[in-house]
Structure 1
Amino acid sequence: MAAPTSETTDPKTNAYDVPPVTRAINLLRYIAAGNRCRNTSKAASALGINRTTLIRLLHTLEREQMIESDREGGGYILSYGLLELAANMLSGRNVVRLARPILSRLATEIGLSAHFGVLSGTEVIVLVRETPNVQIISNVHEGSRLPAHAAVMGRIILANMPREEVLALFADHPMSAVTSKTPTSLDDLSTQLDHDAREGLAWSVAFFEEGIGSCAAVVLDHSNTPVGAISVSGPQATFDLGADKRDQIAVAIRAAAKQLSSLMGHAG
């Protein structure tokens, strides 16, 4: 599989290109596509460069730990230096900036208030809130702190964490009852998290606020670690089992969480 060559670039739109950098990037993409450069003459021809330039590029990229020798099959494969760069890029992204337009579309699509929150100790902090053009009756706002064991965003984050971490987190922390449906013991919490994990969503029908229903999906990063959760909330009847809109809510919130996870590097 050939990579784009420097000869195919438009000089009018690439006046500030640095050709050696372009060649190095093309070579990385060529190797990423499964080409090992075992035959340097063939690889040089595919890349549109001479063999000496290819050898120098391979040497430089190997020295910088962008590629490494493939000891099993010969040639070269991508190295962990690229993974380190990717991890730094992902950690530097502003998840709030990325979440806001997704939540805005979600709120408009299903006509419910949408939120993004992150876990902080035993609480969830709401970082983003987007609302549709309808009357909102939920009291959750940006900056709100919610008990993670009771709120849907907290539950779905906890459900995607190693259980021993969750139990250690709440071992010495009293779990107050927000409503009669709130888990107040480690056993009750584990049972609830098992249910949420199987469902892939955390649902609440007046679990947290009287008259309010909600649903949350987890947001994962490139290492499959939860970085937060997206939720929607609205009138309780909308979230009841058998409600006409419940399936639409599930599909929409799964799609929104998947999109934000993808932007955070999650491969799915």
Structure 2
Amino acid sequence: MPDAAEAEESAYLSPPVQRAARLLRHIAEGDTVTNMAATARALGINRTTLLRLLTTLEAERFIEPIGPNAGWRIGLGLIGMAAQAFFSQDLVQTAVPCIARLADTTDLSAHLGVLDGVDIVYVLRRTPEHGRYVSNIRVGSRLPAHAAVMGRIILAHMPEEAVRRLFAGAPLQPSTPHTPVTMDQLTERLAADRAAGLAWSDGFFEAGISSVAAAIFDSAGIPIAALNVSGQTTSFDGPARRERIGRAVAETAEEISRRLGWAGPARQQNPTRLEVVA
């Protein structure tokens, strides 16, 4: 039986708002609602209520249709709201000019990501003015942290026990044959990333695309975010070019960290170190 405090709190909850929130979360986690009956059962509501929620959320641009009979995905209205919330925080405001400069300096697409559970969430994207390759990843996109370079470099700077707790019971799904699929494989990969100071990837989610990421620290020395640059693998060709890219990413991450109050020693980076994951 709920105690008096729980009963009082539940009296102020709005069931329609809860249902809408649960539906949004369900869609964000991958259910495109192509099977109305299955989604209604999963949410514990009837199909009429589900249809009303979908219609309302689409009208508010919180979701958008993928295509004819292809279901729904999170819409630009909700993504924009989330991006605005992130932008109001010191992290993103501090990072914007630095990441824009990084994109222009390297002639590559640059991104900022934060860890949310076992995912990395993209909260900022900047593209070079005259870049040949422009990343099509959207703010609000989620990638598995154990596989994506920004997730890897954040995890690499966390205590191993914390990483093991985070992924306890969470399957490490492969994105390529080189993705770590066991905790031992993951901790080995993270140790290499930590030693390098950067996480590298070649052809990870898309053939011919490379990327490299560095961690961003707060005043307490905690890794709170990461940034990366990505582009065609040919744009990374040559040791000198890779070294310049790696150094630019490391220096930009350190600049943002210091602006956020991080006072640690200058990190010893080896920007040319390559961890091939695809």
Instruction: Specify the TM-score bucket, using the shorter chain as the normaliser.
Output: 0.5 to 0.7
Deviation digits for residues 80-119 of structure 1 (CA, Å, limit 9, x no counterpart): xxxxxxxxxxxx9521111111000000011000000000
CA distance in 2, matches of 1:190, 1:140: 27
Mapped contact 1:205–1:239 kept (Cα < 8 A): no
* From 182, 189, 193, the counterpart of 1:192: 189
Q: Which portions of structure 1, spanning 4 or more consecutive aligned residues, are displaced by more than 3 angstroms?
A: none
Residue equivalent to 1:117: 113
Mapped contact 1:204–1:239 kept (Cα < 8 A): no
Residue equivalent to 1:168: 165
Report the alpha carbon displacement of residue 136 of structure 1 after superposing the two structures with TM. Answer: 2.6
Runs (5+) with no aligned partner, structure 1? 1-91
Deviation digits for residues 149-180 of structure 1 (CA, Å, limit 9, x no counterpart): 01000000000001101011112111111112
Mapped contact 2:127–2:135 kept (Cα < 8 A): no
CA distance in 2, matches of 1:175, 1:209: 19
* From 110, 131, 135, the counterpart of 2:132: 135
Residue equivalent to 1:267: 263
Residue equivalent to 2:209: 212
SS in 2 for 1:116: strand
* Matched pairs, number: 176
SS in 1 for 2:180: coil
Report the alpha carbon displacement of residue 140 of structure 1 after superposing the two structures with TM. Answer: 2.1
CA distance in 1, matches of 2:136, 2:181: 23
Deviation digits for residues 8-67 of structure 1 (CA, Å, limit 9, x no counterpart): xxxxxxxxxxxxxxxxxxxxxxxxxxxxxxxxxxxxxxxxxxxxxxxxxxxxxxxxxxxx
Residue equivalent to 1:3: none
CA distance in 2, matches of 1:218, 1:193: 12
Mapped contact 1:237–1:243 kept (Cα < 8 A): no
Mapped contact 1:138–1:212 kept (Cα < 8 A): no
Mapped contact 2:108–2:134 kept (Cα < 8 A): no
Aligned-CA RMSD value = 1.5
The residue identity in structure 2 corresponding to 1:125 is V
Deviation digits for residues 113-149 of structure 1 (CA, Å, limit 9, x no counterpart): 0000000000011111000022335332211111100
1:154 aligns with 2:151: yes
CA distance in 1, matches of 2:206, 2:162: 27
